[in-house]
Amino acid sequence: MSNNHIKMVVFDWAGTTVDYGSSAPMDVFKMVFDEMGIELSRDEINGPMGMEKKAHIKALLSLDNAAVQWKEHYGRMWTEADVEEIYEKFEDKLFDVVADYSKPIDGVVETVNELKKNGIKIGSTTGYNKRMMTKVIPAAKENGYEPDCIVTPDITGLGRPTPFMLNECMRVLNVYPPKTVVKVGDTITDIHEGKNAGAWSIGLLVGSNLLGVSKDEYEKMSEEELAKLKEVTTKKYMDAGADMVIDNITELPQAIEKINEMM
C-alpha cells in the first residue's frame, strides 16, 4: 500500500468502540466527586474526557465551581495528595464495574472487520491505564472487537492530547508516515491527539461522549432535537481541528475512501 492511502485507523475506546456515551468514567467520576462533597454537572465532568484520568481529575478540580466548593467544604485549596486520593477511589470503583460497560457499540465489529479486510491495521489509545484495560480487553474480545495494538498512558508516560500513544501504535504496527493514519474518537482530546501526531482526525457523533446523551436519551429525542444537537457537536469537533465528522461508525470506510481520494 502506497503512502497516498490510509494504512491504519487508531480508535479511542470508551464512547467510540465500547461503552455508548462513555458512561463508565462519567458515572464513576460523578460518584467519587459526590462522595467528596463536590457536585459537578455532566457537562463539567465530560469536558476533559479522553485525558489520562489523573489529569482529568486535576482539570475538574481546577474548575471555578469545583474550587469554590472544595474551599467551602475543606477550608483550603486542593493539593496533589487530594488528587491521588480521588484517583485511587476512582480507579478502584471503575475497576469493579468497567467490564460491564465494555460491550462494543453497534456497528463497531462489522466496521473493524471491513477495515481489516481492506488491509487497514487497527490501533487503539485510551485514557484508561493498563490495569483497567485488563478488564476492558477481554470483555470487548468476547463480543468480537480486538484491535491489533492497544496503548495506554502508562506505557508512554504521557496521555492525550500529546501524540505519543498514537506514535507508539505507529511504531508497534510499523506504519508511517503520519498522513497514512486516521484517528477516530468521541472527544475534543481525541481530535487534538490525532492532529498533534500529524494524522487525520475524525470525530464521531452517535455514541460519543461529546454528543452527551445516553442510548436511551438518544432514542427518545425528536429528529429536530437530534439534528440541532448534532449540529452543535459537529461544530465543536471542527473548531477543535477535526478533518471530518461522521454520524455513525459504519460511515468510516466511506470517509477513508474520501481521504484516499484527497491524498
Please state which CATH class domain 8-22+102-262 belongs to.
Answer: alpha beta
Q: Note the pLDDT tens digit of each residue in 127-174.
A: 999 999 999 999 999 999 999 999 999 999 999 999 999 999 999 999
What is the CA angle 97-252-163, rounded to 5?
65
- Options 7, 53, 121, 135, the catalytic residue: 53
- Options 7, 12, 183, 195, the catalytic residue: 12
The domain limits of the chain are: 8-22+102-262, 24-100
Percentage of the chain with pLDDT > 90? 95
Residue 2's pLDDT is what? 72
Q: SS3 for 184?
A: strand
Is residue 12 annotated as a catalytic residue, yes or no? yes
The yes/no answer on whether domain 24-100 falls in CATH 1.10.10.10 is no
70-75 long-range contacts, CB within 8 A, separation 24+:
70/38, 73/36, 73/37, 73/38, 74/37
Is residue 89 annotated as a catalytic residue, yes or no? no
**Cβ(86)–Cβ(45) under 8 Å?**
no
